[in-house]
Amino acid sequence: MTIYKFKSIILFSALLIGLVSCGKATKAEAKGHEHEHEEVLPEDVVELRDDQIKLAKIELGAVEMRSLSGTLKVNGIVSVAPQNLATVCMPLGGFVKSTSLTPGSSVRKGQALAVLENQEFIDIQQNYLETKNKLEYAEAEYKRHKELYKDDVYSQKNLQQVTTEYRNQKAQLRALEQKLSLVGINPTRLTEDNISRSVALVSPISGYVKAVNVSIGKSVSASDVLFEIVNTDNLFLELTLFEKDADKVSNGQKIRFFINNESEAHEARIYQTGKSINDDKSYKVYANVVGQCGNMMPGMYVNAVVETRNHETAALPSEAVVSFDDKEYIFVFDKNKDEEGNKMTEYKMIEVQKGVSENGFTEIILPDGFNIQATKVVVKGAYNLLSAKKNAGEMSC
């Protein structure tokens, strides 16, 4: 309850008590008349005169069927798909000749990250060119012997030896082509005139440099991670839920999440839920970020709210539901009556259960037999009626 509402209720209570208080003389006089009996109201009924109703600003309405979304608060992190995260190594190692990148640098696919030198680069290129020349000779010999075999000039054994040599050279050339491609050398452009001792290490994806683990002159091996590249175009959320909430989420549900304690909410949608429960009774839910969020980075911590359902339910303005003795109640119109020339109205307290709240309305679970269409509910002034009930002893005449 806000401070303003609290003060209003105190003021209303004071005025209400003043309006309905009866003097001792009046009570004594009433006791002298044996034929007059004081009315005893049930515990769940509050009655007010017309002037009291106006003072309490009582307004009646009806239970509405509204579409409310349930929510589930969860935590998680911003993650990146494996295909958008690259760990860059040099398969044959070497010495770092140059690099101009720093963490945070933007790179595009195929851009040079660093230049490395290695004696093995020279050896592979030399072997490739030598094998290429041998293959040309072996191919020519194979064709020549094949024609001579047709003319019965050479035996089948001689043809088989030549064929084997030709195929061996061809296989060796293909293997060396793959090695060259592995270290970043294009075999189709390699000639005897452009053998190089250095090779450019290129980025396999576009994105941003997350980590740089090299320096000029550093010796690196094939297993050393030299660069980490991350593409932040398609980030997703990895949320942690507990098994008791497993039935509350499904693919397609909308999520509102916040990063860096910001007040601005971002949107995401669940695209996959976990299929197994971890040892700590939690499981993972994954959601794609909708739209652009320029200040998001992988590894960031997020607070998220999952909209668990969206269907029509019985609802009232939130101020129509009051709390009393750890229970929730609403007030409904019971009847009008005349009492000693005064027009009175009785309101009855009905216990309900609260559900989700959204946009100023609260879901309520009504008791069995409650007639939604015919019952008039107090939608404004319910807290004033509750205050009148609490002071019923002082207000009785």
Helices then strands, counting H and E runs in the chain, come out as: 7, 21
Looking at the structure, tell me whether residues 204 and 113 fall in a common domain: yes
Name the domain boundary from 275, 309, 343.
309
Neighbours of 131 (CB within 10 A): 21
Looking at the structure, tell me whether residues 224 and 88 fall in a common domain: yes
With contact defined as beta carbons under 8 Å apart, do 343 and 109 qualify? no
Greater confidence (227 vs 360) lies with 227
- For 92-148, what is each residue's pLDDT tens digit? 999 999 999 999 899 999 999 999 999 999 999 999 999 999 999 999 988 887 877
Looking at the structure, tell me whether residues 383 and 283 fall in a common domain: no
Looking at the structure, tell me whether residues 153 and 276 fall in a common domain: no
Check which CATH number belongs to the domain holding 241 and give it.
2.40.30.170
Tally of structural domains, the chain? 3
Residue 375: alpha-carbon gap to chain centroid: 41
With contact defined as beta carbons under 8 Å apart, do 266 and 258 qualify? yes
pLDDT at 394 over 60: no
With contact defined as beta carbons under 8 Å apart, do 224 and 96 qualify? no
Looking at the structure, tell me whether residues 240 and 351 fall in a common domain: no
Does residue 359 sit in helix, strand or coil? coil
pLDDT at 392 over 80: no
- Over range 267-281, report the average pLDDT: 87
pTM attached to this predicted model? 0.56
pLDDT at 261 over 90: no
β pairing state of 59-61 and 377-380: antiparallel
Quote helix, strand, coil % in the chain, to nearest 5. 30, 40, 30
Looking at the structure, tell me whether residues 386 and 280 fall in a common domain: no
Q: Which of 312-316, 327-331, 393-397 is predicted least confidently?
A: 393-397
pLDDT at 357 over 70: yes
- Residue 383 CA: distances (Å) to CA of 8, 15, 272, 389: 10, 15, 45, 10
- Over range 335-358, report the average pLDDT: 87
Separation CA 35–CA 253 (nearest Å): 68
| Bridge partners of residue 272, in order along the sequence | 286
- Over range 13-38, report the average pLDDT: 45
Looking at the structure, tell me whether residues 223 and 174 fall in a common domain: yes
Contacts of residue 238, defined as CB under 8 A and 6 or more positions apart, other chains included, come to 76, 77, 78, 79, 284, 285, 286
Return the structure tokens found at 192: 């005897």
Separation CA 245–CA 36 (nearest Å): 61
Looking at the structure, tell me whether residues 327 and 265 fall in a common domain: no
Check which CATH number belongs to the domain holding 53 and give it.
2.40.420.20
Whole-number pLDDT of residue 4:
44
Domain interval for residue 28: 3-68+312-395
Name the domain boundary from 309, 332, 358.
309
- Over range 302-306, report the average pLDDT: 87
Check which CATH number belongs to the domain holding 160 and give it.
2.40.50.100
Looking at the structure, tell me whether residues 96 and 161 fall in a common domain: yes
pLDDT at 396 over 70: no
Average pLDDT, the chain: 83
Looking at the structure, tell me whether residues 88 and 77 fall in a common domain: no
Most confident listed range (96-105, 239-248, 351-360): 96-105
Return the structure tokens found at 267: 């949107």
H helical segments located in 151-219: 156-183
Separation CA 332–CA 320 (nearest Å): 10
With contact defined as beta carbons under 8 Å apart, do 377 and 61 qualify? yes
- Over range 169-186, report the average pLDDT: 93
Return the structure tokens found at 384: 């004033």
Looking at the structure, tell me whether residues 88 and 192 fall in a common domain: yes
| Bridge partners of residue 342, in order along the sequence | 339
With contact defined as beta carbons under 8 Å apart, do 135 and 114 qualify? no
Name the domain boundary from 230, 254, 288.
230
pLDDT at 38 over 70: no
Whole-number pLDDT of residue 291:
76
Whole-number pLDDT of residue 258:
86
Separation CA 124–CA 186 (nearest Å): 12
Looking at the structure, tell me whether residues 96 and 140 fall in a common domain: yes
| Bridge partners of residue 114, in order along the sequence | 99, 201
The tally of CA atoms less than 13 A away on the side-chain side of residue 294 is 0
- For 48-88, what is each residue's pLDDT tens digit? 989 888 998 999 999 998 877 667 788 999 988 888 899 99
* CA quadruple 103, 109, 111, 113: dihedral sign: positive
Return the structure tokens found at 83: 């295909």
Percent of the chain beyond pLDDT 90?
43
